[in-house]
Structure 1
Amino acid sequence: MTALSEGSGAGVGGRAPLDADRIKHLEFIQATITRLGTNSFLVKGWALTLAAGLLALSASRLSWQLAAVGVVPLLCFWHLDCFFLRQERAFRRLYDAARVPDSTVEVLSMNVAPYLARMPWPEVWLTPTLLLFYTPLLLADLALVVIAL
């Protein structure tokens, strides 16, 4: 049994241990963070599958229209992935704020609005992980549009 889950005594680092409600709250937040990470992974899988399929089809037919159509869903997947990453970061900030014993975060509150307000969309859109995944797909799609013209 860890110091966080014991009912009495000093906690980690001499701080008071967290109560059961606070621990359950942290578990809820962590489950949400995990779910958002899984959703982001699935979105990347769908984006790659769709982009590869449309690129293969448009390359075999040398159709700039098909290649151009592939840009739209790719941008939509990028935006959706950005949404999940932004939410995940907000929940991580909520977790950090809720994990301290003298936290001002309401127990079992999942409100991340104060954290989202300090996280602009362009900052998340231009995250290296998203740029390194979506930019090559987008460039390949645009290159095929130019070649097929």
Structure 2
Amino acid sequence: MTALSEGSDTGVGGGAPLEPDRIKHLEFIQATITRLGTNSFLVKGWALTLAAGLLALSASRLSWHIATVGVLPLLCFWYLDCFFLRQERAFRRLYDDARQPDSTVEVLSMNVRPYLAQMPWPEVWVTPTLLLFYAPLLLADLALLALAL
């Protein structure tokens, strides 16, 4: 019988079984990745709701004041979403390293500092998913600002 048919967990590529502490560590990392993804989704929802409301209000009154007020929260939400995406990517890299049988990652360590150093802010800031979501909202807001002036 193979190790899988006996019900034990195996390492990467069907190698040696992973220790229970290592499995728990991977579960912790995965829970963090899931939480960061959920946070990113919620931030996008709040950004879209606020931007749509401020754009509608600004367009109905053709007010440059309201259009200007709409830019700052949008940039803040973009930054926050960028922060969550950067953290998520760092935890994914930690997960990839921690799952290797010959991993040098300390068991139950959640330190992602070495991985964050590999991801500069501008690279994450202009990720296609963030750019395609926030740039049109920002451009619409700036267009209304230009029309109102």
- Fold shared per TM-score above 0.5: yes
> 1:120-135 residue pairs with structure 2 within 5 A?
120-135=120-135
> 1:1-149 residue pairs with structure 2 within 5 A?
2=4, 6=8, 11=11, 13=13, 15-149=15-149
Q: TM-score, normalised by structure 1?
A: 0.93
Please say if residues 36 and 88 of structure 2, whose CA atoms lie closer than 8 Å, have aligned partners that are also in contact. yes
* d(CA) in 1 for partners of 2:36, 2:16: 31
Please say if residues 12 and 100 of structure 2, whose CA atoms lie closer than 8 Å, have aligned partners that are also in contact. no
* d(CA) in 1 for partners of 2:4, 2:52: 48
* d(CA) in 2 for partners of 1:111, 1:19: 20
Q: 1:101: Cα distance to partner?
A: 1.4
2:92 partner SS? helix
Percent of pairs with identical residues: 84
Q: How many residues of Structure 1 are paired with residues of Structure 2 in the alignment?
A: 146
1:119 partner SS? coil
* d(CA) in 1 for partners of 2:101, 2:20: 12
Q: TM-score, normalised by structure 2?
A: 0.93
Q: 1:21: Cα distance to partner?
A: 0.3
Q: Which moved more, 1:56-65 or 1:33-42?
A: 56-65
* d(CA) in 1 for partners of 2:134, 2:92: 24
Amino acid at match of 2:8: E
Amino acid at match of 1:30: Q
Cα RMSD of the aligned pairs, angstroms, is: 1.7
Amino acid at match of 1:48: L
Runs of 5+ unmatched residues, structure 2? none
Deviation string 1:62-121 (CA, Å, 9 cap, x unpaired) is: 101100110000000000000000000000000000001111000000000000011000
